[in-house]
Structure formats: structure tokens, C-alpha cells
Structure 1
Amino acid sequence: MFGAVQFGIFAAFIVLFVPMGLAGWHLSRNKMLFFSGALFITLAVGVHLTPYFPSITDFVSSLSVTSVVSNRNSCISFLHEIVWDVRDSNKVLWGWERSTPVVACEFQKLSRVEASVLLNGSWIVVVGDSQARLVVLSLLNLVMDGEEMGSIRGDLFKRHSDYKIVIEKIGVKLEFLWAPYAYNVTELLTEFKKNRRYPDVLVMGSGLWHMLHVTNSSEYGDSLGNVRKSVVSLLSTEFGNDGPVTGSVSVQSPHLFWLGMPTLINSMLNTEDKRKKMNGVMQDAYDRELYQSKLLRQSGGPLLLLDIKSLSGRCGVMCTVDGMHYDEHVYEAAVHIMLNALLIDSQQRL
């Protein structure tokens, strides 16, 4: 917050440089010293009195807030600034931290009604492994009630299978596509481009299966490079600044997300093969390949990261039973990060 300390520094700069500027106008030494002293006393008094006048303090503080809000795109970088209260496995709370820029961004946990309004009429595709399936579960939990979810969970968690649902009351078509490897993601992108039909929201992710069954970070990086090429090709040939080229079905380019891998707690992994291959060194190598692939926005790419590693790591050991799959709160937080990103990218407020 822009408070008394910062204001004092600002005042010091005025006291130092304004008299020097006046000296350039050939004022006499006595006049310049008098002016400098008067200015210093006035500003010093102002700095000390400002906290006692709420209207002044609020005005000064609002300057920094306004600078953040005036460019909401900058809020994207604060989306993962989440704090956790994990007292026990049955009582996990999370929320955005209360720093000035985060508060100014006005992130919110969307209610069922708000999420339904935001997603109304959308086609959402989530592509990946079991982590992606858990994100789908959290999204469905947000927009559907408990009775509706009772009949869904069994179908959604059929091993290594796709899942599709149309939520008629809000016109949402949601698809989960089992695609544990990055080349599966590339094939899907090629299919979208061939058919010239694109979802409104596309969440993609891979890595865990490759780490376990291939265990080659360099090869993983190459496969991510192919995903990036496919995404860039799709965006550059099908979509321009003013929307799609003639013949495309969508009215705008999809909102694109990359679902990061979770924090792996090696001692809790449930097989010896996993504990051997999915160690900290290997996960770090896979993470480096992801950032070096330039697939993510923060490294100049097209996809916004849903940082499950950060979310799960902060939630901690009490939020997982197998060191790989975390409880619903982690994926709930990821869904709300995604929804707030959609609000920012589409310049909407609820």
C-alpha cells in the first residue's frame, strides 16, 4: 500500500530536486534556502498528519489500486497467490491472499449461479490423465447439485475412458478425453483443426504417464514442442485479431489452459516402480522441459498454466492419500483460477 513511508520518500525527492530546479532560474541563495525549508516543513507535517485523515489516506492508497485495476490483464500473474488453512484432512480452507494487488484484482470464488452464467452455452474440453479427470469432477460439482452428481461419478471414473455430458439447463457441453501422453494432445489439436470446430475452453495436460512409463525428460520436452507448434499453427491460421477466418465455426479463439502436474510425495506413492521413477530429480527435469518448451504464457507461449504443483504443494501432505492425487480442494482452487482467468480474458465481471 502507498502509505506514509512511500509518501515521505516522494516528499524527499521534491525537497531535493525542486530547489535545484529553482536554482536554475537564478533565484538568490537566501530565497532558495527559505523556499526549501518551507517546503520541507510543509511536506513533513503532511506526512505525519496523513494517517489521521482517512479521506486523504484512502485517496493516496487508491492510487496503487487504480494502477492495478486499470490493466486487469496484469491480474493474471496473481491468480495463483492462494493461501491455505489445513488444520486437518477434514477441514481444508483456501482463499486468495490479502495483499494490495491481489485485493485490487477482485478475484472471487464463484457461486453455482455465477459459474453457470459465465459458462452458459459453452463447449468445454478437458484433455489429459487422472488429474484432468479430477478437474472435471470439481467443475461439475460447482455447476451441478449433489443429487445430479450421484449418477455421474461412476461414469466419469471409468478407467482410461472418455466422458461427455450436456448440462441442458445452462447449455454447457463438457467433454473429458483420456489422453495421457502429449502426442495424444497433438493428435486432438490436429483433429480440431481438420474439422474446423473448436471448444470455447480447452484444458490440456500430460506428464505423469510419460514420467512413469517412458522416464525421459528430453523426449517429453520434444513432445511438448510439438504441442506448441500445433497450438500456434491453429491460432495463426484459424484466428486473427478480429476473430476467425471465413468458414470457421467459432466466433473467437478458444481459451487455452495447460494443466500442470501435481507435487509428487515420493514416500507416499503406492508402488515401488513409481517411487523409483517419479522422484524429485525427475519431476524437476520434467518441469524444466515444460517451461523451456515456451508452451506457457509466462515463457512467451499461448497457454495459461493451472499450476497444480503449486496448489498441491501448499495444501501439503494432509491433502493426499497416495502422494499423487489430491483432495477436492486443490482441484476446486484450480477451477476457480480458470474461471477468474476467463473473466479477465473476456473482460467480464459478475
Structure 2
Amino acid sequence: MVFFICVLFIILSVGVRWTPYFSSISIFPSPNGASSNYRISCVDILHSIVYKDRPECVGCTKSWSWMQSSPVAKCEFKKLEQPDASVMLNRSWVVFAGDSQTRLGMLSMLKLVEVPERVRIVKEQLKKLKTDYSTYIDSIGMKLDFKWKPYARRLTKLMLEFKKNEKYPDIIVMGAGLWDMLYENNASDYDVSLRSLRNSLQDLNSKDGKVPHLFWLAMPTLINSKLTSEDKRHNLTEPRRIRYDNKVNESKILNKFGGPLLKLDIHYLSELCGPQCTKDGLHYDDVVYDIAVQIMLNAVLIESTHKPPF
């Protein structure tokens, strides 16, 4: 029928039964010269989503879909449900590293492959703790880790640890900036940390030849009036977020600017969802992070199967 259904059930369903899916797929385009060759493709329009308002259902979870415009429709994006996601992530190792935003992304990933009750328990536990989390999904042989690394410089140390061991996850999602804004308030230091992180991501080749798919989970839209402390209201402002976000672009760490990381644009997704999607002006409803995970998985499918631009 559509391209991704074919990919999932012909390529993946057969192949991963005997070998790990991620051991044979390719990485995003190399940072070397990527900026000059960057062009419109399905990856570039993955964020073309719309939320569906349900005014008749107060308190319901907001639903969403990809736009049905011609370019987006040609890309045939697929919203993966648990069976498909489990097939795709069979025998994989996925790491989320960063702050509480990245942790919410990890929980959305966990929700795709685990029973809801376990996800609820984990969410409550991690909400109270600033700590790492690791789990193994026995049914599909998947390892899922969250690394509490709220500052950009700590992400660099983690990448250097992976490099030292020459063993990398299949997917790494990272993101930091809010703690740098809140507790350090030095955009120049943040810029230095990002450039060090970019350097640490060069030449990631494991002993078994795997190269990870790399993503950057951006900061959300900040609703100052809803922030829960004076320090947050003073330091976590939209103008400052824009300044820090510009540092991410200037560091050329993102794929769009020649770097190794593909951006998961939480700012755009949260802004589109609106102020009603956040209670504290900082952390958004699950749907925002669910979409980010779906965008990530579709990006992996697109790049792994070398689907050409439309």
C-alpha cells in the first residue's frame, strides 16, 4: 500500500527476526559538506503536523496528524503504533540524555513499547528524582536509557565515554539548555559547550561498525506567567531562549547547518499546541513529546531506506 507499510512489514518484519534492525541501517548524511548539499526532502518537512481540536470533549488528549498537503502526502509518514514500533526497535539500544524535557521524550518512547501502568509508575518516580533511568524491554530485547545530563557540557562527557568504549546506542536523543539558562545564565559558555559537544560527535564508529542516529531535542516555548518560581520567571524568558537557541544554530551542531544532529523542534510543537498544553509554562502535555518521538522514528526510517526527496 504505502511506502512505510512496505518498509515495516517487508524489510523489517523479516529482517529483525534474526538480526538487529539497527545493525544494518545507515546514518544521517555526514557533517562534512552537508550544509552545501542540504536540500528539501521528507526529513525537512517531518514537523508538518496539525493538532485536531475536539471542543466536544473537555479534558481529552489532543490528537494530531501530519498535514495532507501534496509534499507531505508524498512522503507517506506513518504514525507508528506499538506493534510497528516494537518491530522497528527490536534488539535496539536507545539513549535519551539531557534535562527534564528529554526525560519526557524518553517516557513517550517507553509508552510506545511498554504497558501503560508501568509507564505511569516510572513517570511518577522520575518526576521526584533527578537521576538516570534504565530499563530492558524483554519482549523485544530493547534497552532504553535516560541519562540525567541537564548541562550541555555533561553531554560532551557522555559522548566521550561512548567513544572511549567504542560502543554506541543505535539512537541517541540529547538536549540541554534550560539549566544553563536558569542556573548559569552565560550564553557564551553555552556556545563553547555546544562546540565541544559537536567535536565529541565526530567519527562515532563502534567496534561492530554501528553508527548512531543522532537527534537534538530543542527547548520548549516558555510561558512566563505560568512558571512556578521567581527565579524561573526572571531567567527562563522567551528572548533568552531565542538567544540560546541561536547559539545552537551558530555552533553548527545541527544537521541543517552541517552538523550531526537532527533537530526535534519542541519549541515549534509546543507553541503550536498552545498555552493550554502546559500547566507550569515549561513542561508540556504528553502529546508534544509523543509527536517528537514519531518524527524521530520516521526520520530513522527515511534515512535508513534512502528514500529520495519527493
User: Counterpart of 1:299?
Assistant: 257
One-letter amino acid of the structure 1 residue matched with residue 165 of structure 2: N
Among 82, 89, 95, which residue is 2:49 paired with?
A: 82
In structure 2, what is the Cα distance between the partners aligned to 1:176 and 1:124?
A: 9
The alpha carbon displacement at 1:272 in A equals 1.0
Unaligned 5+ residue runs, structure 2? 1-38
One-letter amino acid of the structure 2 residue matched with residue 281 of structure 1: P
User: Counterpart of 2:216?
Assistant: 258
The reply on whether 1:288 has 2:255 as its aligned counterpart is: no
Matches within 5 A, 1:1-350: 74-86=41-53, 87=55, 89-232=59-202, 234-235=203-204, 238=205, 248-347=206-305
In structure 2, what is the Cα distance between the partners aligned to 1:262 and 1:223?
A: 20
Task: Sort the Cα spacing of 1:164 and 1:83 in 2 relative to 1 into closer, same or farther, 3 A.
Answer: same
Task: Sort the Cα spacing of 1:103 and 1:137 in 2 relative to 1 into closer, same or farther, 3 A.
Answer: same
1:104-129 deviations in whole A, cap 9, x for unaligned?
A: 00011101000001110101110001
User: Counterpart of 2:9?
Assistant: none
In structure 1, what is the Cα distance between the partners aligned to 2:242 and 2:104?
A: 23
State how many pairs are aligned.
266
In structure 1, what is the Cα distance between the partners aligned to 2:237 and 2:75?
A: 37
Q: Percent same amino acid at aligned positions?
A: 50
Q: How big is the alpha-carbon RMSD for the aligned residues of Structure 1 and Structure 2?
A: 1.8
In structure 2, what is the Cα distance between the partners aligned to 1:94 and 1:199?
A: 29
Normalised to the residue count of structure 2, the TM-score between the two structures is 0.82
In structure 2, what is the Cα distance between the partners aligned to 1:123 and 1:137?
A: 15
Bigger radius of gyration: 1
Kindly indicate whether the alpha-carbon contact (under 8 Å) linking 2:173 and 2:217 is maintained by their aligned counterparts in 1.
yes
Q: Residue 110 of structure 2 aligns to a residue in which SS?
A: helix
Q: Residue 74 of structure 1 aligns to a residue in which SS?
A: coil
User: Counterpart of 2:27?
Assistant: none
The alpha carbon displacement at 1:295 in A equals 0.3
Q: Residue 194 of structure 1 aligns to a residue in which SS?
A: helix
Q: Residue 199 of structure 1 aligns to a residue in which SS?
A: coil
More helix by share: 1
In structure 2, what is the Cα distance between the partners aligned to 1:197 and 1:158?
A: 31
Kindly indicate whether the alpha-carbon contact (under 8 Å) linking 2:214 and 2:262 is maintained by their aligned counterparts in 1.
yes
Normalised to the residue count of structure 1, the TM-score between the two structures is 0.73
Task: Sort the Cα spacing of 1:310 and 1:89 in 2 relative to 1 into closer, same or farther, 3 A.
Answer: farther
The alpha carbon displacement at 1:90 in A equals 2.7
Q: Which has the higher contact order (CA 8 A, sep 6+)?
A: 2
Kindly indicate whether the alpha-carbon contact (under 8 Å) linking 1:155 and 1:163 is maintained by their aligned counterparts in 2.
no
The alpha carbon displacement at 1:280 in A equals 1.8
Kindly indicate whether the alpha-carbon contact (under 8 Å) linking 2:253 and 2:260 is maintained by their aligned counterparts in 1.
yes
The alpha carbon displacement at 1:147 in A equals 3.6
Kindly indicate whether the alpha-carbon contact (under 8 Å) linking 2:85 and 2:112 is maintained by their aligned counterparts in 1.
yes
In structure 1, what is the Cα distance between the partners aligned to 2:163 and 2:108?
A: 28
The alpha carbon displacement at 1:143 in A equals 1.0
User: Counterpart of 2:23?
Assistant: none
In structure 2, what is the Cα distance between the partners aligned to 1:150 and 1:288?
A: 35
Kindly indicate whether the alpha-carbon contact (under 8 Å) linking 2:168 and 2:210 is maintained by their aligned counterparts in 1.
no
